[in-house]
A and B are shown apart, each in its own frame.
Chain A
Amino acid sequence: MSDNSSSATTKISTYLMMIVLIVLALSIVALMLSVNAFIAGNEMVAGYLLVIGFIAMGLSVYVMLQSRRRASSMKIEAPKVMTTIECKKCNFKSVREFQRGDFVFKDLDPCQKCNDKMIITAIYKEVKEKEKTYGV
Chain B
Amino acid sequence: MFTAMEVLPNLFGGGGGDSISNILSILFYVVFIVFLFYGQRIQMYVMIREVEGSLHKLRYIKEEGRKITIETIKEIGKPQTDPSDRVDRYLEYFTIAPQSMDPAGIVYKLDHILDMRDTRLKDEVKIMAPASDEVQINNLENTLEAAMALNFIYKVVRHYYIQGKKTLSLYVIMQLQMILPLVMKEAEAYASALKAFADGQPIGDGAGPLVAAKLMHGYETRKVPKDCVVATVPIEGRTAFIIKAEGPGGNVGKPGDAVKAVIDENKGKISSVIMIDAGLKLEGETVGEVAEGIGAAIGGPGVDQFKIEEAVVKYQIPLNAVIVKEDIGDAVSPMRKEIADSADKVIERMKNVILERTKEGDKIIIVGVGNTIGIGQ
A125 and B334 contacting across the interface, CB-CB below 8 Å: yes
Asked whether, in the complex, the Cβ of A125 is within 8 Å of the Cβ of B335, the reply is yes
Given contacts A9-B60, A79-B192, A104-B375, contact A45 B12 (CB under 8 A): yes
How many A-B residue contacts, CB cutoff 8 Å? 113
Asked if B376 is at the interface of the complex by the 8 Å CB criterion, the answer is: yes
Distance to closest chain B CB from A21 (angstroms): 17
Q: Are B375 and A105 in contact (CB under 8 A)?
A: yes
Chain B 242-260: CB-based contact to A (< 8 A → 1; otherwise 0): 0000011000000000000
Tell me whether A2 and B63 are in contact in the complex, defined as CB-CB below 8 angstroms, given that A76-B191, A124-B339 are known contacts: yes
Residue numbers in A under 8 Å from B61 (CB-CB): 74, 76
- Least Cβ–Cβ distance between B48 and chain A, in angstroms: 11
Residues of A within 8 Å of B57, CB to CB, are 9, 74
B200 touches A40 (CB 8 A): no
- Per the bound structure, the CA–CA distance linking A124 and B333 in Å amounts to 10
Task: Indicate whether A78 sits within 8 Å of B195 (C-beta atoms), given known contacts A40-B16, A102-B374, A123-B335.
Answer: yes
Residues of B within 8 A of A98 (CB): 199, 201
Q: In this complex, what residue of B is CB-closest to A36?
A: B16
What is the distance, in angstroms, from A48's C-beta to the closest C-beta of chain B? 6
B337 adjacent to A103 (CB under 8 Å):
no
Min C-beta distance of A123 to chain B, whole Å: 5
Tell me if B307 counts as interface (CB < 8 A to partner A).
Answer: no
A81 within 8 A of B: yes
A18 sits at the interface (CB 8 A): no
Taken residue by residue from 44 to 58, chain B's Cβ proximity to chain A (1 for < 8 Å, 0 otherwise) reads as: 000001001100110
Q: Is the CB of A104 within 8 A of B56?
A: no
B56 to chain A, nearest CB (A): 5
A76/B192 contact (C-beta < 8 A), A5-B60, A45-B17, A136-B284 known: yes
Q: Report the interface size for chain A: residues with CB under 8 A from the other chain.
A: 40
* Residue A42, interface by CB 8 Å: yes
A69 interface residue, CB < 8 Å from B?
no
Query: How far does the Cβ of B236 sit from chain A's closest Cβ, in whole Å?
Result: 22
| Chain A positions 109-127 with a Cβ under 8 Å from a chain B Cβ | 122-127
A127 surroundings in chain B (CB, below 8 A): 336-338
CB interface residues, A 4-28, toward B, < 8 Å:
5-6, 8-9, 13, 15-16
In the assembled complex, B217 has its CB within 8 A of some CB on chain A: yes
Contact with A along B187-212 (1 / 0, CB 8 A): 00001101110011110000000100
Q: A93 an interface residue at 8 Å Cβ cutoff?
A: no
Enumerate the 9 nearest inter-chain pairs by beta-carbon distance, A residue then B residue, closest first. A103-B248, A105-B376, A124-B340, A125-B334, A42-B16, A9-B60, A124-B337, A5-B63, A104-B375
CB-defined A-B contacts under 8 Å, sample of 29: A5-B59, A37-B16, A40-B16, A42-B15, A42-B17, A44-B12, A44-B17, A49-B20, A70-B53, A74-B57, A74-B61, A76-B64, A81-B334, A104-B202, A104-B213, A104-B248, A104-B375, A104-B376, A105-B213, A105-B377, A122-B340, A123-B334, A123-B340, A125-B333, A125-B334, A125-B337, A127-B337, A133-B284, A134-B284
Footprint of A on B, CB under 8 Å?
A: 11-13, 15-17, 20, 49, 52-53, 56-57, 59-61, 63-67, 191-192, 194-196, 199-202, 210, 213, 217, 247-248, 284, 287, 333-340, 374-377
Given contacts A42-B17, A76-B64, A103-B200, 8 further A-B contacts (CB under 8 A): A2-B67, A6-B60, A40-B16, A44-B13, A74-B61, A102-B374, A103-B247, A131-B287
